[in-house]
Structure 1
Amino acid sequence: MKILEKNTIKHTLRRSIHPYLNGAWKPNYTEYTATDMEVIGTIPSDIDGVYLRNTENQLHEPIGYYHPFDGDGMLHAMSFKDGKAEYRNRFIRTKGFEEEQKLGKSIWTGFANDPKKSKRPGWGAQEHLKDSSSTDVVVHAGKVLSTFWQCGDGYRLDPYTLEQYGAENWVPAEGISAHPKVDINTGEMLFFNYSKKAPYQHYGVVDKDNNLVHYTPIPLPGPRLPHDMAFTKNYSILIDLPFFWDPEKLKKNQHVPTYYGDTLPTRFAIFPRYGSAEDVMWFEADPTYVLHWMNAYEDGDEIVLDGYFQDNPDPAPMKGLPKLVGKFMAGLDQRSFKSKLHRWRFNLKTGEVTEKHLDDKILEFGTFNQHYAGVKSRYLYSTWSKPGWFLFSGIVKHDLETGESWSLPFGKKRYGSEAPFVPRIGATSEDDGYLVSFITDMKENRSECILVDAQDIEAGPVCQIILPHRICSGTHAAWADGPSIRAYSETSSDE
């Protein structure tokens, strides 16, 4: 292994028994650039692009109770070309990161605490949090965009070098939510945000050249907590879920615990991609909460949408813990909220909604071939988690046409990431390619990047690339094709 760069960031975090500051969630402080890493197996020569994962790595002693989503964002990138791989990881230099590094301590408290504990005004829908940009990562207009789970600035980086360009300049005052959606077939990026102020939600479109070209309110009845959105070729889909801040507690500026209105419907706003509030068709379905949506597509007069329906959106606190702590721990555990792959169908002519579980297994954090985003797709790759933990233990591949599924456990004490689909160069079918994931192996005390043949996931990894350090677990990941990234770079240099 060649270490080309190694840089340790100053930190003040003390030893802790906190479950999300230890083990597979132990924060990283050192940034690396590495090549010629040890490889078990052979790196395929028929892929070209970059795999990116966002993680939370708390640098300073937290103010109040720590939740893993409060941690400072760190991106990990593994680039592939011609059968070779290169690894980098970098903290995202957010405004909050820079200010806390200057002082050498935390300035903002986490979302589970009294807002008054933050020493300065913050970001996000709660308005007192640090935008750590540690939640999602997408690639749009040739650059990385990292995001924060409760609305933030959005930060741009180079997908290969992780060179940082700072906060995105087109982002509205209300910020952007955790999950903007990139339509790689048009180059557009769709996003939404939410806040505690009327109209409570906005929606926007950014074109292929990274210009904000559409921004409009899509009003909600009050402050809500949507997390994700979906799109088809012609429509965007936003969701009003019956899970939000408790209205009475919010009057006192208290954001926890949240409120679940199990007698309220889940409402879906479906409207043209460049539409406004006047164009919205509202649909009502069974009450639930959904963290993540998968693909959506148009099927005659209907729109089909897949996602992870929670059978128990308001789980009881985990036993043996203080009530509030137990509540947050349950909110991180798939087996507590019981998320299951689910399908909704919306008839645009009649207004009828039908829905059903596609699988009774507890699953979440899925991916699919992004070249099929917005049109009918056949395959979906979900993860399951370790009971009681926010740690991914394996992958399930679903064939949505036949109903078949196949599983790949990561192994004992091995925890992975979301596994984006990587198209093979010259791919001839939807699942002709690989799944890629970072694995943290607690038995071997190391991390590795694995590639799995998407057409035969039960065969296990075709290669394991050993990283220079054991990385902290985290949230979301993405794959971006090399030719499309380079095409944007060439266009920019011509200008």
Structure 2
Amino acid sequence: MKVERLPPVRTSLGPTNHPYMTGPWTPQHEEVNAWDLEVLEGAIPADLDGVYLRNTENPVHDPIGRYHPFDGDGMIHQIEFKGGAATYRNRFVRTRCFEAEQEVNEGLWGGLMDGPGVSKRPGFGAHGALKDSASTDIVVHNGEAIATFYQCGEAYRLDPLTLENLGVASWAPLEGVSAHPKVDEATGELMFFNYSKAWPYMHYGVVGPDGKRKVYQGVPLPGPRLPHDMAFSSKYAILNDLPVFWDQELMARDIHAVRLHKGIPSRFALVPREGGEPRWFEAEPTYVLHWLNAYEDGDEVVLDGYFQEKPIPRPLEGAPDGHGHLMAYLDEHSFLPKLHRWRFNLKTGETTEKHLDDRVLEFGMFNQKYAGKPYRYAYSTTAKPGWFLFNGFVKHDLETGESWSIALPEGRYASEAPFAPKVGAVDEDDGYLVSFIIDENKGASECLIVDAKRFEVVCRIALPHKLSSGTHTVWAGREMLTK
């Protein structure tokens, strides 16, 4: 393996025993370019052509308050496949906040768990006073990678091949862009939403395939809410108003405490994709971090996602150093997300819903060629009990109800694994899952490639350094990488 190391960034980070700044979540500050990567098992598929990108919460400075892993600085890790070979590189996302902290070599903003008065400068996000780290999500649109912040930030562009930072997206509104904008590969459109503490509390927007914003409208809510994701079908963008949001009385004192508001249903807004009046549907109360896909089925719109059975979990017993509350909210086995299907009847206005699987699953992926359309296969992750760490994958055949699993050995943890279609694919599951692995047993990382049809590992590729764990990823085929 050949490695080119870039000049180091400034860091003030000192020793810590924080559970999400150690082990698989140990910050990694080295930026590199690497090629002639060592293949540890199997062979790199010659029909895999494109890039896999993963965003990472990777703190550079000592926190000035109580650290939450979602506060970390954004770092994009990329592996490119072409002609049976692979190259790797990684770069920090140079947000305005990252650059400001580099200037003074210290943290300037408090985080998600801090009260008022911690941040030293005005900040971003629906919460307010947060650092826009662009460290949550990553998508590719109009030949550019877009890194976004979970509580709404400026949306930062990078070249998906070189990871050169390109600055703020010109289409991003002043109210910001939430994590999880959605790209429809069939139309070239990007759909996004944002939310805030100011009326109308949520907006919906569309960016055309030319990179220019063409729709931006309010979606009025009863008050401030905390939506995290959206979905789309061929005709509708699907937004949500869920009964898990800030305590209104405490928010008046600038304290952001999340509560489950009993007696309030879940609500779903079906907004015409080209803009227009939303149509609302009610459903059982829950919280949903992530959706899978949505599509029209006769008079119904079908939506798949991960229904939380205990969206406000009890503090995790035995958590280190009093981190029980933090760790419960990050532990899927505490809030219990289950693969779930909602059906919204456009004629009657009624909603029907049910679990599709009773296992704890989340962070689902599918073949993006079927986004907004009827689809058959979904790929979810499993999680280590007590931790925000992925330890396996599950493939579902949504037509037959069959499923297949891959479990990683203890001490090996995966990243979200998008579906990468084979060149010349015919069937919906003709392709691969791609994931970065953190091996705590060896203090190393690698790239894992799974044949999605046979659902077995076909290749493992060594990476030049151990990664820090993170959240979201994207696969972009070669056709997505140019404007």
- TM-score (norm: length of structure 2): 0.98
Name the counterpart of 2:324. Answer: 326
Deviation at 1:444, TM superposition (A): 1.5
- Distance (Å, rounded) in 1 between the aligned partners of 2:50 and 2:299: 37
Point out the more displaced range, 407-416 or 354-363: 407-416
1:13 counterpart SS class: coil
Give the counterpart letter for 2:13 in structure 1: L
Deviation at 1:6, TM superposition (A): 3.4
- Contact kept in structure 1, 2:319 and 2:327, CA below 8 Å: no
Give the counterpart letter for 2:29 in structure 1: Y
Listed as ranges, the matches of 1:428-439 within 5 Å are: 428-439=426-437
Give the counterpart letter for 2:163 in structure 1: L
Q: Does 1:11 align with 2:7?
A: no
1:19 counterpart SS class: coil
2:471 counterpart SS class: strand
Name the counterpart of 1:275. Answer: 275
- Distance (Å, rounded) in 2 between the aligned partners of 1:323 and 1:462: 41
Name the counterpart of 2:254. Answer: 253
Listed as ranges, the matches of 1:76-91 within 5 Å are: 76-91=77-92
| Structure 1 alignment gaps of length 5 or more | 489-495
Name the counterpart of 2:383. Answer: 385
Name the counterpart of 1:471. Answer: 467
1:20 counterpart SS class: coil
Which residue of the other structure, out of 290, 313, 318, is the alignment partner of 1:315?
A: 313
- Distance (Å, rounded) in 1 between the aligned partners of 2:189 and 2:425: 23
Name the counterpart of 1:23. Answer: 23
Q: Which string of whole-angstrom CA distances, capped at 9 and with x for unpartnered residues, describes residues 196-247 of structure 1?
A: 0111010000000110100000000000000000100011110000000100
- Contact kept in structure 2, 1:309 and 1:341, CA below 8 Å: yes
Which residue of the other structure, out of 278, 293, 296, is the alignment partner of 2:294?
A: 296
Name the counterpart of 2:448. Answer: 450
Q: Which string of whole-angstrom CA distances, capped at 9 and with x for unpartnered residues, describes residues 285-329 of structure 1?
A: 000000000100000000000000000011111124599832221
Name the counterpart of 2:2. Answer: 2
- Distance (Å, rounded) in 2 between the aligned partners of 1:323 and 1:26: 17
What count of residue pairs does the alignment treat as equivalent? 482
Give the counterpart letter for 1:149 in structure 2: Y
- Contact kept in structure 2, 1:385 and 1:391, CA below 8 Å: yes
Q: Which string of whole-angstrom CA distances, capped at 9 and with x for unpartnered residues, describes residues 85-115 of structure 1?
A: 0100000000000000000000001110023
Give the counterpart letter for 1:303 in structure 2: V
Structure 1 segments, 4+ long, off by >6 Å, are none
- Contact kept in structure 2, 1:317 and 1:324, CA below 8 Å: no
- Distance (Å, rounded) in 1 between the aligned partners of 2:408 and 2:185: 30
Name the counterpart of 1:417. Answer: 415
- Distance (Å, rounded) in 2 between the aligned partners of 1:411 and 1:8: 33
- Contact kept in structure 1, 2:5 and 2:30, CA below 8 Å: no
Aligned CA-pair RMSD: 1.1
Name the counterpart of 1:408. Answer: 406
Q: Does 1:123 align with 2:121?
A: no
| Structure 2 alignment gaps of length 5 or more | none
- Distance (Å, rounded) in 2 between the aligned partners of 1:342 and 1:331: 20
- Distance (Å, rounded) in 2 between the aligned partners of 1:7 and 1:465: 25
- TM-score (norm: length of structure 1): 0.96
- Distance (Å, rounded) in 1 between the aligned partners of 2:91 and 2:481: 19
- Contact kept in structure 1, 2:237 and 2:271, CA below 8 Å: yes
Listed as ranges, the matches of 1:74-473 within 5 Å are: 74-256=75-257, 258-276=258-276, 279-320=277-318, 325-457=323-455, 459=456, 461-473=457-469
- Contact kept in structure 1, 2:49 and 2:81, CA below 8 Å: yes
1:121 counterpart SS class: coil
- Distance (Å, rounded) in 2 between the aligned partners of 1:428 and 1:324: 52
Deviation at 1:262, TM superposition (A): 2.9
Identity %: 59
Q: Does 1:61 align with 2:62?
A: yes
